[in-house]
Structure 1
Amino acid sequence: MEDKGCFNPDNLYHVFGQIIKLHFTRSHNLLEKQGIYPGQPPLLFTLYYKDGQSQKELADKLRIKPATVTVMITRMEKSELLTRKQDEQDQRISRVFITEKGREMCKKLKSIFEILNEECFSNFTEEEKVLLRRFFLQMRDNLTKASLDKLGD
Protein backbone atom coordinates (compact mmCIF):
# COMPACT_ATOMS: atom_id res chain seq x y z
CA MET A 1 0.00 0.00 0.00
CA GLU A 2 1.46 3.36 -1.02
CA ASP A 3 1.90 6.19 1.49
CA LYS A 4 0.10 9.30 0.20
CA GLY A 5 1.61 11.54 2.90
CA CYS A 6 -0.14 14.90 3.11
CA PHE A 7 -2.45 13.91 0.20
CA ASN A 8 -4.00 11.15 2.30
CA PRO A 9 -7.64 12.22 2.85
CA ASP A 10 -7.28 11.33 6.56
CA ASN A 11 -4.21 13.55 7.00
CA LEU A 12 -4.79 16.73 9.05
CA TYR A 13 -2.90 18.83 6.52
CA HIS A 14 -5.16 17.57 3.71
CA VAL A 15 -8.35 18.33 5.67
CA PHE A 16 -7.02 21.74 6.67
CA GLY A 17 -6.31 22.52 3.01
CA GLN A 18 -9.85 21.55 2.08
CA ILE A 19 -11.22 23.85 4.80
CA ILE A 20 -9.11 26.76 3.57
CA LYS A 21 -10.28 26.22 -0.01
CA LEU A 22 -13.96 25.87 0.95
CA HIS A 23 -13.81 28.95 3.20
CA PHE A 24 -12.12 31.00 0.48
CA THR A 25 -14.67 29.94 -2.14
CA ARG A 26 -17.65 30.61 0.13
CA SER A 27 -16.36 34.00 1.31
CA HIS A 28 -15.40 34.99 -2.24
CA ASN A 29 -18.92 34.17 -3.47
CA LEU A 30 -20.57 36.18 -0.67
CA LEU A 31 -18.24 39.15 -1.22
CA GLU A 32 -18.64 39.02 -4.98
CA LYS A 33 -22.39 39.56 -4.59
CA GLN A 34 -21.52 42.89 -2.94
CA GLY A 35 -18.96 43.82 -5.61
CA ILE A 36 -16.08 43.41 -3.14
CA TYR A 37 -12.81 41.55 -3.63
CA PRO A 38 -11.45 39.38 -0.78
CA GLY A 39 -8.55 41.73 0.03
CA GLN A 40 -10.74 44.81 0.36
CA PRO A 41 -12.59 44.21 3.69
CA PRO A 42 -9.45 44.57 5.86
CA LEU A 43 -8.69 47.93 4.20
CA LEU A 44 -12.27 49.13 4.64
CA PHE A 45 -12.40 48.12 8.30
CA THR A 46 -9.01 49.69 9.00
CA LEU A 47 -10.40 53.02 7.78
CA TYR A 48 -13.78 52.43 9.40
CA TYR A 49 -12.09 52.36 12.80
CA LYS A 50 -9.44 55.03 12.05
CA ASP A 51 -10.18 57.22 9.08
CA GLY A 52 -7.70 59.42 7.23
CA GLN A 53 -4.63 57.19 7.33
CA SER A 54 -1.80 57.58 4.87
CA GLN A 55 -1.22 54.94 2.22
CA LYS A 56 2.04 54.01 3.96
CA GLU A 57 0.24 53.54 7.30
CA LEU A 58 -2.33 51.32 5.59
CA ALA A 59 0.35 49.21 3.89
CA ASP A 60 2.15 48.76 7.22
CA LYS A 61 -1.01 47.84 9.13
CA LEU A 62 -2.20 45.41 6.46
CA ARG A 63 1.32 44.05 5.92
CA ILE A 64 1.14 44.48 2.15
CA LYS A 65 3.25 46.38 -0.33
CA PRO A 66 2.49 50.08 -0.85
CA ALA A 67 1.97 49.45 -4.58
CA THR A 68 -0.72 46.88 -3.73
CA VAL A 69 -2.45 49.40 -1.47
CA THR A 70 -2.39 51.96 -4.29
CA VAL A 71 -4.07 49.52 -6.69
CA MET A 72 -6.68 48.60 -4.07
CA ILE A 73 -7.45 52.23 -3.25
CA THR A 74 -7.75 53.17 -6.91
CA ARG A 75 -10.24 50.35 -7.50
CA MET A 76 -12.19 51.18 -4.35
CA GLU A 77 -12.31 54.89 -5.29
CA LYS A 78 -13.97 53.90 -8.57
CA SER A 79 -16.57 52.02 -6.50
CA GLU A 80 -16.98 55.16 -4.35
CA LEU A 81 -16.03 53.29 -1.16
CA LEU A 82 -12.98 55.47 -0.47
CA THR A 83 -11.57 58.84 -1.36
CA ARG A 84 -8.02 60.24 -1.28
CA LYS A 85 -6.99 63.73 -0.23
CA GLN A 86 -3.62 65.42 0.09
CA ASP A 87 -2.47 65.95 3.67
CA GLU A 88 -2.96 69.59 4.63
CA GLN A 89 0.45 69.86 6.36
CA ASP A 90 2.50 67.70 3.98
CA GLN A 91 1.47 67.64 0.31
CA ARG A 92 3.65 64.56 -0.28
CA ILE A 93 1.28 62.48 1.85
CA SER A 94 -2.01 61.18 0.50
CA ARG A 95 -4.63 60.41 3.13
CA VAL A 96 -7.39 57.88 2.56
CA PHE A 97 -10.93 58.35 3.84
CA ILE A 98 -13.89 56.01 3.89
CA THR A 99 -17.04 57.35 2.23
CA GLU A 100 -20.61 56.96 3.46
CA LYS A 101 -21.02 54.20 0.87
CA GLY A 102 -17.92 52.55 2.36
CA ARG A 103 -19.41 52.74 5.86
CA GLU A 104 -22.60 51.11 4.60
CA MET A 105 -20.50 48.39 2.96
CA CYS A 106 -18.80 47.72 6.32
CA LYS A 107 -22.22 47.04 7.84
CA LYS A 108 -22.97 44.56 5.05
CA LEU A 109 -19.54 42.96 5.48
CA LYS A 110 -20.14 42.48 9.21
CA SER A 111 -23.30 40.53 8.32
CA ILE A 112 -21.39 38.45 5.77
CA PHE A 113 -18.72 37.57 8.32
CA GLU A 114 -21.41 36.65 10.86
CA ILE A 115 -22.92 34.29 8.26
CA LEU A 116 -19.51 32.72 7.57
CA ASN A 117 -18.84 32.37 11.29
CA GLU A 118 -22.18 30.64 11.80
CA GLU A 119 -21.66 28.35 8.81
CA CYS A 120 -18.18 27.38 9.99
CA PHE A 121 -18.85 26.85 13.68
CA SER A 122 -22.60 26.15 14.05
CA ASN A 123 -22.19 22.54 15.23
CA PHE A 124 -19.53 23.31 17.82
CA THR A 125 -20.07 23.63 21.55
CA GLU A 126 -18.57 26.64 23.32
CA GLU A 127 -15.89 24.36 24.80
CA GLU A 128 -14.99 23.05 21.35
CA LYS A 129 -14.73 26.61 20.02
CA VAL A 130 -12.38 27.52 22.87
CA LEU A 131 -10.21 24.49 22.11
CA LEU A 132 -10.25 25.13 18.39
CA ARG A 133 -9.23 28.75 18.96
CA ARG A 134 -6.35 27.56 21.12
CA PHE A 135 -5.26 25.12 18.40
CA PHE A 136 -5.46 27.83 15.73
CA LEU A 137 -3.36 30.17 17.89
CA GLN A 138 -0.82 27.42 18.41
CA MET A 139 -0.67 26.78 14.65
CA ARG A 140 -0.23 30.51 14.03
CA ASP A 141 2.58 30.66 16.59
CA ASN A 142 4.26 27.59 15.09
CA LEU A 143 4.18 29.11 11.61
CA THR A 144 5.32 32.51 12.87
CA LYS A 145 8.26 30.90 14.65
CA ALA A 146 9.15 28.87 11.56
CA SER A 147 9.06 32.04 9.45
CA LEU A 148 11.27 33.90 11.90
CA ASP A 149 13.67 30.97 12.16
CA LYS A 150 13.89 30.91 8.36
CA LEU A 151 14.84 34.60 8.34
CA GLY A 152 17.74 33.79 10.65
CA ASP A 153 19.15 31.17 8.24
Structure 2
Amino acid sequence: MKTTSIKPSDIKKQWVLIDATGQSVGRLASQIAYILRGKHKPSFVPHLDNGDNVVVVNASKAVFTGRKLDNKFYYHHSNYIGGIKAVVAKDLLANKPERVLEHAVRGMLPHNKLGRKVFHNVKIYAGNEHPHEAQKPVAAPARLVK
Protein backbone atom coordinates (compact mmCIF):
# COMPACT_ATOMS: atom_id res chain seq x y z
CA MET A 1 0.00 0.00 0.00
CA LYS A 2 1.40 3.35 -1.03
CA THR A 3 0.96 6.69 0.66
CA THR A 4 -0.70 9.20 -1.62
CA SER A 5 -0.07 12.91 -1.35
CA ILE A 6 -2.68 15.44 -2.38
CA LYS A 7 -1.95 17.68 -5.37
CA PRO A 8 -3.10 21.31 -5.64
CA SER A 9 -5.55 20.26 -8.37
CA ASP A 10 -7.25 17.79 -5.97
CA ILE A 11 -8.07 20.40 -3.30
CA LYS A 12 -11.77 21.07 -2.74
CA LYS A 13 -12.56 24.07 -0.57
CA GLN A 14 -15.83 24.62 1.29
CA TRP A 15 -17.21 27.70 3.01
CA VAL A 16 -17.72 27.40 6.77
CA LEU A 17 -19.86 29.77 8.85
CA ILE A 18 -18.93 30.38 12.49
CA ASP A 19 -20.94 32.41 14.99
CA ALA A 20 -18.67 34.11 17.55
CA THR A 21 -21.45 34.96 20.02
CA GLY A 22 -20.28 34.32 23.58
CA GLN A 23 -17.10 32.51 22.57
CA SER A 24 -13.67 33.24 23.99
CA VAL A 25 -11.43 35.09 21.52
CA GLY A 26 -8.39 32.84 21.86
CA ARG A 27 -10.25 29.54 21.72
CA LEU A 28 -12.29 30.73 18.77
CA ALA A 29 -9.16 31.91 16.94
CA SER A 30 -7.43 28.56 17.40
CA GLN A 31 -10.46 26.74 15.97
CA ILE A 32 -10.60 29.13 13.01
CA ALA A 33 -6.87 28.63 12.34
CA TYR A 34 -7.37 24.86 12.53
CA ILE A 35 -10.05 25.00 9.83
CA LEU A 36 -8.07 27.48 7.69
CA ARG A 37 -5.03 25.20 7.66
CA GLY A 38 -7.14 22.14 6.79
CA LYS A 39 -6.07 20.09 9.79
CA HIS A 40 -9.62 18.76 10.14
CA LYS A 41 -9.28 16.94 6.78
CA PRO A 42 -7.63 13.55 6.35
CA SER A 43 -5.79 14.95 3.33
CA PHE A 44 -3.86 17.55 5.37
CA VAL A 45 -0.35 18.36 4.20
CA PRO A 46 1.63 21.13 5.88
CA HIS A 47 2.98 22.70 2.67
CA LEU A 48 -0.34 23.34 0.84
CA ASP A 49 -3.37 25.55 1.38
CA ASN A 50 -5.80 22.68 1.88
CA GLY A 51 -8.14 24.41 4.34
CA ASP A 52 -11.61 25.81 3.95
CA ASN A 53 -12.79 29.40 3.69
CA VAL A 54 -14.23 30.69 6.96
CA VAL A 55 -16.90 33.35 7.49
CA VAL A 56 -17.15 34.62 11.08
CA VAL A 57 -20.23 36.61 12.12
CA ASN A 58 -20.99 38.47 15.37
CA ALA A 59 -17.33 39.21 16.10
CA SER A 60 -18.45 42.07 18.33
CA LYS A 61 -20.03 39.52 20.70
CA ALA A 62 -16.83 37.55 21.30
CA VAL A 63 -15.61 37.73 24.90
CA PHE A 64 -12.33 37.88 26.76
CA THR A 65 -11.80 35.83 29.90
CA GLY A 66 -10.35 37.19 33.10
CA ARG A 67 -9.23 40.82 33.13
CA LYS A 68 -7.91 40.85 29.56
CA LEU A 69 -10.55 43.33 28.46
CA ASP A 70 -8.87 46.04 30.59
CA ASN A 71 -5.28 44.78 30.76
CA LYS A 72 -4.56 43.57 27.20
CA PHE A 73 -2.97 46.04 24.79
CA TYR A 74 -2.60 45.92 21.03
CA TYR A 75 0.53 47.71 19.81
CA HIS A 76 1.55 49.11 16.44
CA HIS A 77 4.33 51.43 15.36
CA SER A 78 4.33 54.35 12.94
CA ASN A 79 8.00 53.73 11.99
CA TYR A 80 8.97 57.11 13.41
CA ILE A 81 11.05 57.57 16.56
CA GLY A 82 8.77 57.28 19.58
CA GLY A 83 5.88 56.29 17.33
CA ILE A 84 4.58 53.30 19.26
CA LYS A 85 0.83 53.30 19.72
CA ALA A 86 -1.22 51.19 22.11
CA VAL A 87 -4.93 50.42 22.17
CA VAL A 88 -6.73 48.71 25.04
CA ALA A 89 -8.69 45.58 24.06
CA LYS A 90 -11.94 47.11 25.35
CA ASP A 91 -11.61 50.09 22.98
CA LEU A 92 -10.62 47.97 20.00
CA LEU A 93 -13.51 45.56 20.61
CA ALA A 94 -15.91 48.49 20.79
CA ASN A 95 -14.62 50.35 17.71
CA LYS A 96 -13.27 47.66 15.36
CA PRO A 97 -14.27 44.21 16.67
CA GLU A 98 -13.08 42.48 13.49
CA ARG A 99 -9.49 43.52 14.23
CA VAL A 100 -9.43 41.63 17.53
CA LEU A 101 -10.19 38.29 15.87
CA GLU A 102 -7.99 39.07 12.86
CA HIS A 103 -5.04 39.71 15.16
CA ALA A 104 -5.67 36.51 17.13
CA VAL A 105 -6.10 34.31 14.03
CA ARG A 106 -3.07 35.78 12.26
CA GLY A 107 -0.94 34.98 15.29
CA MET A 108 -2.00 31.33 15.19
CA LEU A 109 -1.13 30.79 11.52
CA PRO A 110 2.39 30.09 10.24
CA HIS A 111 4.55 33.18 9.94
CA ASN A 112 5.57 32.61 6.32
CA LYS A 113 4.21 32.93 2.75
CA LEU A 114 1.70 30.13 3.28
CA GLY A 115 0.34 31.74 6.45
CA ARG A 116 -0.16 35.06 4.66
CA LYS A 117 -1.95 33.27 1.80
CA VAL A 118 -4.17 31.25 4.15
CA PHE A 119 -5.14 34.37 6.11
CA HIS A 120 -6.96 35.71 3.05
CA ASN A 121 -9.44 32.82 3.39
CA VAL A 122 -11.08 34.20 6.55
CA LYS A 123 -13.78 36.88 6.42
CA ILE A 124 -14.77 38.46 9.75
CA TYR A 125 -17.86 40.61 10.29
CA ALA A 126 -18.96 42.48 13.42
CA GLY A 127 -22.67 41.91 12.88
CA ASN A 128 -24.94 39.07 11.81
CA GLU A 129 -24.95 40.02 8.10
CA HIS A 130 -22.36 38.88 5.56
CA PRO A 131 -22.16 39.09 1.75
CA HIS A 132 -21.24 35.42 1.20
CA GLU A 133 -24.67 33.83 0.87
CA ALA A 134 -23.91 32.89 -2.75
CA GLN A 135 -21.12 30.58 -1.56
CA LYS A 136 -23.64 28.68 0.63
CA PRO A 137 -21.55 28.45 3.80
CA VAL A 138 -22.31 25.51 6.06
CA ALA A 139 -22.21 25.71 9.85
CA ALA A 140 -18.96 24.51 11.36
CA PRO A 141 -19.15 21.00 12.84
CA ALA A 142 -19.83 20.98 16.57
CA ARG A 143 -16.66 18.96 17.20
CA LEU A 144 -14.58 21.84 15.80
CA VAL A 145 -16.37 24.88 17.27
CA LYS A 146 -17.90 24.66 20.71
Confirm or deny a common fold (TM above 0.5).
no
* TM-score normalized with structure 2 length: 0.25
Q: Which has the higher contact order (CA 8 A, sep 6+)?
A: 2
* TM-score normalized with structure 1 length: 0.25
Q: Which has the higher strand share?
A: 2
